[in-house]
């Protein structure tokens, strides 16, 4: 297990160097959530807490899922994925490395945005709940990129991005960011529960003294979603592995 973690960390460092630590990627990781947040904020009389939750949740969600779905298609296109899976590492190790790269990038950008936002808005969340929920949420969203990159088995990143963008924006609008869960009709609340982002938003509200669901349920569901995404994504990757090279 320790050896697998070491190898996956080496893959994560490679992903960060090649795919993440580029000027355009970092800038888009900051600019896209910012302008989406402006569209969410302008013309609405929102409290500082509501603004903080919306900004932090959108930043964590979009930055941790920004590049992860396209890593394997890019690797396949560059013929480097074949070298990875024929080297002394398992497919699970490769996918765990991709997950870690998304995790580190997502956490770095999220904290870069969230901490100044706390100071500017004079927000004082529970640090334990904020840190724990953010780490679990970014890990969950990073695991979701493993599933997003699994199908279709293509070497064209645009094919994966079209599907992942559809999924991400669908989850965004049902997750209680724009309309709190308690204000949704009954069917809207049930729909919102299928989104992992819902539980992160609710956990952030708990850190400010609010929340709709029990905080332990929010944190537990983030763990369950993370495991389900990674295990399902790994299974699909194994099923379609041969088709990536035909």
Q: Is 245's pLDDT higher than 70?
A: no
pLDDT tens per residue across span 59-101: 899 888 888 787 888 787 777 777 777 777 888 888 888 899 8
Cα radius of gyration (the chain) = 18
Reply yes or no on whether the pLDDT at 246 is more than 70. no
Q: What is the pLDDT of residue 138?
A: 95
Q: How far is CA 8 from CA 84, 97, 244, in A?
A: 11, 4, 21
User: Which tokens is 184 given?
Assistant: 């949704």
Please indicate whether residue 48 or residue 108 has the higher confidence score (pLDDT). Answer: 108
Token representation of residue 124: 């004082």
pLDDT at 27: 63
What whole-number distance in Å separates Cα of residue 12 and Cα of residue 98? 6
Residue 211, phi-psi category: left (phi > 0), alpha (psi -120 to 50), beta (remainder): left
- Asked if residue 115 has pLDDT above 80, the reply is yes
Query: Does residue 156 come out as left (phi exceeding 0), alpha (psi in the -120 to 50 range) or beta?
Result: beta
pLDDT digits 0-9 by tens, 185-202: 888 888 889 999 999 999
Asked whether residue 44 carries a pLDDT value surpassing 70, the answer given is no
Least confident of 26-30, 106-110, 141-145, 168-172: 26-30
pTM above 0.85, yes or no: yes
């Amino acid at each position: 297990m320790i050896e697998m973690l070491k190898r996956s960390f080496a893959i994560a460092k490679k992903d960060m160097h090649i795919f993440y630590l580029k000027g355009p990627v970092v800038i888009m990781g900051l600019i896209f959530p910012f302008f989406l947040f402006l569209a969410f904020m302008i013309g609405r009389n929102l409290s500082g807490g509501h603004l903080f939750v919306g900004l932090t949740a959108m930043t964590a969600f979009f930055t941790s899922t920004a590049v992860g779905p396209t890593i394997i298609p890019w690797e396949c296109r560059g013929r480097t994925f074949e070298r990875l899976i024929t080297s002394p590492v398992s497919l699970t190790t490769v996918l765990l490395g991709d997950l870690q790269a998304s995790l580190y990038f997502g956490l770095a950008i999220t904290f870069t945005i969230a901490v100044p936002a706390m100071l500017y808005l004079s927000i004082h969340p529970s640090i334990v709940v904020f840190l724990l929920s953010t780490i679990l949420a970014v890990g969950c969203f990073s695991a979701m990129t493993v599933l997003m990159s699994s199908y279709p088995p293509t070497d064209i990143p645009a094919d994966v991005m079209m599907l992942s963008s559809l999924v991400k924006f669908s989850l965004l609008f049902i997750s209680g960011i724009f309309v709190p869960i308690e204000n949704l009709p009954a069917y809207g609340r049930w729909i919102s529960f299928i989104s992992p982002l819902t539980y992160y938003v609710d956990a952030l509200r708990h850190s400010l003294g609010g929340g709709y669901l029990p905080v332990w349920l929010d944190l537990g569901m983030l763990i369950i979603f993370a495991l389900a995404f990674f295990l399902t994504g790994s299974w699909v990757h194994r099923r379609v592995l041969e088709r990536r090279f035909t």
